[in-house]
Amino acid sequence: MRNPNVCRYVMLGLIIIGLIVAGLSAIVYGVDKMHPLFVVGVVIAFGGIIFGIVTIRCPFCHRQLHLKGIVPDSNCPYCGSKFE
């Protein structure tokens, strides 16, 4: 069973990594012209958001769970099923 709480951590991790990569690129190479590393960072961060939208779902009723915050859900708010 895929745990939506784990998927949420993965999503947050990807977003943070993407922002760090984009931020480092802006610091190291400046923002006058867009460096490829900045684009890579933004793509990683957006990829994390898309990953979250696709995967952070109840494994039982497949409804979208909240994406915000790091507080894990212990139950599905829709069908009440317990997550591992």
- Which residues contribute to the site for Zn ion (CB under 5 A)? 58, 60-61, 76, 78-79
Tell me the C-alpha distance between 56 and 66, whole Å: 8
Distance in Å, CB of 35 to Zn ion, minimum = 43
Nearer to Zn ion, 30 or 80 (CB): 80
How far apart CA 18 and CA 13 sit, in angstroms, is 8
Cα–Cα dist 62/25, whole Å: 38
Nearer CB in complex with Zn ion: 38/83 = 83
Give the residue with the Cβ less far from Zn ion, 35 or 57. Answer: 57
